[in-house]
């Protein structure tokens, strides 16, 4: 909702001021922050959109009282991502308190929203147009977007991100970039929040590979990924960049593993 409202605000009269009032956990901790807006189309995720910063973002965790539990869990996938890419202690905190989140403990929700917003805002402020470090926010998203496109947006975004993070952590291990312990940590964290780690639907290796090539991080036919170094940091550096290619064999292994499950 925030993405489409923001996109209308970005394009109506070539841009009008707007305010984001997120009412889902995902929107509070992630999509309302950073000024990315857009609409999903059948051609692929995020191919149509605009950068347009809201004047104000107003999040009130009391609105989450009516949010369906699966939507709450989907939001936690992005929170876990924030911990995984930038703050190991935050990741560990999240893993320790799924019950408090599920029972909507206001202090826990507020501190979660606050820490995730701090992480996202600091990454985005550093890099408003994604030339550099902002790409770390895409951890899990190359695979997630391919899944969303292939499955026609049947999966919730957060669920696709959960599956994508685990797949990309495995890819990072195969590429000798990611500490193997990160895969176990992610698996435990996703289980704690009852998030999916594999696909229930029947999709083919070729469909998923095709969708991966449509990703906007794809350049000259090679797919780019933001890969973890370990929980709390993404592999990369200023100059060399924060996304990398992976070998065709390793990508195929990960895709086959996903589809086989
Ligand atoms: N712009 C960005 O930077 C960015 C970042 C992450 C995700 N996204 C996008 O955000 C979308 C997912 O966000 P979302 O989960 O907020 O989507 P959404 O707006 O579709 O909300 C999810 C569902 O929850 C319902 N809902 C929302 N608040 C509720 C409440 N308080 N009580 C009861 N029901 C409520 C909505 O009606 C909807 O059915 C995806 O399309 C994803 O790609 C964008
Ligand atoms: Zn996301």
> Can you give the CATH number for the domain in which 44 is found?
3.40.50.1970
CA of 75 to the centre of ligand 1 (A): 8
Residue pLDDT, tens place only, 78-122: 999 999 999 999 999 999 999 999 999 999 999 999 999 999 999
Q: In angstroms, what CA-CA distances link 148 with 27, 45, 51, 71? A: 18, 7, 22, 16
Does 170 have pLDDT greater than 90?
Answer: yes
- Tell whether 131 and 108 lie within a shared domain: yes
CA 246 – CA 141 distance, rounded (Å): 15
- Of 62, 93, 113, the last residue of a domain is 62
Element (H, E) at 25: helix 25-26
Does 52 have pLDDT greater than 70?
Answer: yes
Segment among 43-47, 85-89, 110-114, 146-150 with least mean pLDDT: 43-47
- Tell whether 102 and 221 lie within a shared domain: yes
CA of 257 to the centre of ligand 2 (A): 22
What average pLDDT does the segment 3-19 reach? 97
Question: Measured in whole angstroms, how far is the alpha carbon of residue 123 from the centre of its chain?
Answer: 14
- Tell whether 99 and 20 lie within a shared domain: no
- Tell whether 17 and 128 lie within a shared domain: no
Return the residue whose CA atom lies nearest to atom 3 of ligand 1. 31
The mean of the pLDDT values for the chain is: 92
Tell me, what's the pLDDT at 210? 85
Residue of 24, 45, 82, 123 to test ligand 1 pocket, by largest number of atoms within 8 Å of CB:
24
- Tell whether 169 and 42 lie within a shared domain: no
- Tell whether 52 and 72 lie within a shared domain: no
What average pLDDT does the segment 174-192 reach? 98
Q: Is 116 in the pocket of ligand 1 (CB under 6 A)?
A: no
- Tell whether 57 and 155 lie within a shared domain: no
Other Cβ atoms closer than 10 A to 237: 10
Tell me, what's the pLDDT at 14? 95
Element (H, E) at 50: strand 44-51
Q: Is 31 in the pocket of ligand 1 (CB under 6 A)?
A: yes
Q: Is 30 in the pocket of ligand 1 (CB under 6 A)?
A: yes
CA 109 – CA 121 distance, rounded (Å): 18
Ligand nearest to the CA of 165: 2
Map 150-181 to HEC letters: HCCCCCCHHHHHHHHHHHHHHHHHHCCCCCCH
- Tell whether 159 and 94 lie within a shared domain: yes
Does 153 have pLDDT greater than 80?
Answer: no
pLDDT interval class at 69 (50, 70, 90): very high
CA 177 – CA 225 distance, rounded (Å): 11
Residue 208: give the domain boundaries: 66-260
- Tell whether 95 and 54 lie within a shared domain: no
pLDDT interval class at 130 (50, 70, 90): low
**Mind telling me the catalytic residues?**
14, 36, 78, 120, 130, 134, 138, 141, 145, 157
Residue of 71, 155, 161 to test ligand 1 pocket, by largest number of atoms within 8 Å of CB:
71
Total domains present in the chain: 2
- Tell whether 81 and 45 lie within a shared domain: no
CA of 40 to the centre of ligand 1 (A): 13
Tell me, what's the pLDDT at 199? 87
- Of 62, 82, 103, the last residue of a domain is 62
The residue assigned the tokens 């347009």 is: 52
Tell me, what's the pLDDT at 37? 96
């Amino acid at each position: 909702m925030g993405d489409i409202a923001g996109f209308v605000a970005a394009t109506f009269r070539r841009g009008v001021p707007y305010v984001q009032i997120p009412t889902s956990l995902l929107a509070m901790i992630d999509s309302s922050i950073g000024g990315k807006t857009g609409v999903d189309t059948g051609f692929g995720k995020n191919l149509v959109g605009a950068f347009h910063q809201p004047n104000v973002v107003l999040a009130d965790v009391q609105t989450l009282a009516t949010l369906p539990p699966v939507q709450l869990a989907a939001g936690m996938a992005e929170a876990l991502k924030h911990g995984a890419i930038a703050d190991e202690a935050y990741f560990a905190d999240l893993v320790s308190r799924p019950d408090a989140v599920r029972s909507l403990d206001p202090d826990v929700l507020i501190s979660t929203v606050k820490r995730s917003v701090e992480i996202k805002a600091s990454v985005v402020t550093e890099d408003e147009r994604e030339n550099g470090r902002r790409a770390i926010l895409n951890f899990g998203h190359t695979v997630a977007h391919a899944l969303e496109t292939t499955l026609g947006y049947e999966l919730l975004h957060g669920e696709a991100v959960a599956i994508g993070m685990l797949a990309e952590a495995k890819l990072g291990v195969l590429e000798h970039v990611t500490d193997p312990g990160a895969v176990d940590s992610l698996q435990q964290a996703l289980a704690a929040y009852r998030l999916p780690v594999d696909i229930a639907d029947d999709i083919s290796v070729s469909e998923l590979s095709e969708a991966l090539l449509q990703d906007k991080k794809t350049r000259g036919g090679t797919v780019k990924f933001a890969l973890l170094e370990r929980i709390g940091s993404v592999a990369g550096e200023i100059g060399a960049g924060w996304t990398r290619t992976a070998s065709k064999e390793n990508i195929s292994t990960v895709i086959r593993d996903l589809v086989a499950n």
